[in-house]
Structure 1
């Protein structure tokens, strides 16, 4: 039986990573990740109707709550790893350990590996070692804890020795008391993961809750937005399994005004959201009744039917009401 474990070593105050474990996903998130973000990720990870793509999409990559470093894994016959920033995954396959890191990819890097025997998620500074659990490491069945890294092995995870001291958790002075209470609640729920699977995730929409919308690019036929849509000269999307697959829409841009992956259209329970994916030449939006504005690099904006989105080189996207 496979299992997860984590290091109980204490780092300097504020340097511990946030480690998330369920029976489907394992993740390590950088020290700057807020507890509110972890609470939301916990709810999504515990919902069996949502896949890895929903969990990755819920990690903030822009704004004040940006998670600039994380590593996520979905173990299985073919295991999927998603890494961002200064995070990495050290993975053992066939007795050999390889490191999966972001390699400068934005917003993240995805790898799929078959026959994974063990792995560890954490910061790039971590030494890969042999990935085996030591007597100092503690098993974790499910929950959110603090620590320098989290590991997983296809072999049984040994219980901690009786003489092992309990892990010491460092306080987070930058978090307000309400967030600290949330953290304590997450810890108390660690032993009862399955009890919370019936909870509805707060911010992860499903196809049934998404607002119906459609778009038309130039004189092309209208297309419904029932999944994330990436538009650009050579659009790319994360190769994440499970859930709804994103759609790639390629446009012509002879003068290269349009970036490779220029914008994202994402349906949510609150409406259709437009995000400029840090494009080179920007995105101009004409919203009915409010005039014209240029999005900031990386900015997200809700859009309504009648909105026109100009991404350059004559490529104009019209938002339509889906019927």
Structure 2
């Protein structure tokens, strides 16, 4: 056989004249080995992954002595607040000692009623123990049902039967004209004369005179 042409009559170039044919993409390249002396070169396929079974994955086994994690315990419930005992009540404070600089206030059990006196024209005196109705023959009315009554002898009969109401106070004698027939006037110690309005109460100072009609009395505070 002609070394240049093959059996089929095609001309074949000698080895090494033409570059080796390019393998399609995706196909593993074969390693080219030098030609054996006296014969044609050959290629040894490059072993790749088995298309049937795929790449080999090594089996993973945990070490025999690996510790097993313990199960996580549920969180403990919060502890109830501690009961704090109530503090004992504080003892009562002791009173401060009395010294010379300590101010002491003394309140009397009762305040004595003021003492007023009526001085009549003949010089006789009549004490007023409280609210008192005066006149020729006085009677207590609804203005002061518990008041005392003091009849005065008036030969001229210028007094009304219930002429006035007298109520002793601390600094004044409160006098009310009970709509008397002849009226009531107050003569002050300085001589000033004031005619009282019927039914209206007026304060009268000690040393003043009450002119009831033609009957006159002097009021004194002892």
Q: Of the two, which has the highest radius of gyration?
A: 2
The normalised TM-score by structure 1 is: 0.31
Higher relative contact order (CA 8 A, sep 6+): 1
* Structure number with higher strand proportion: 1
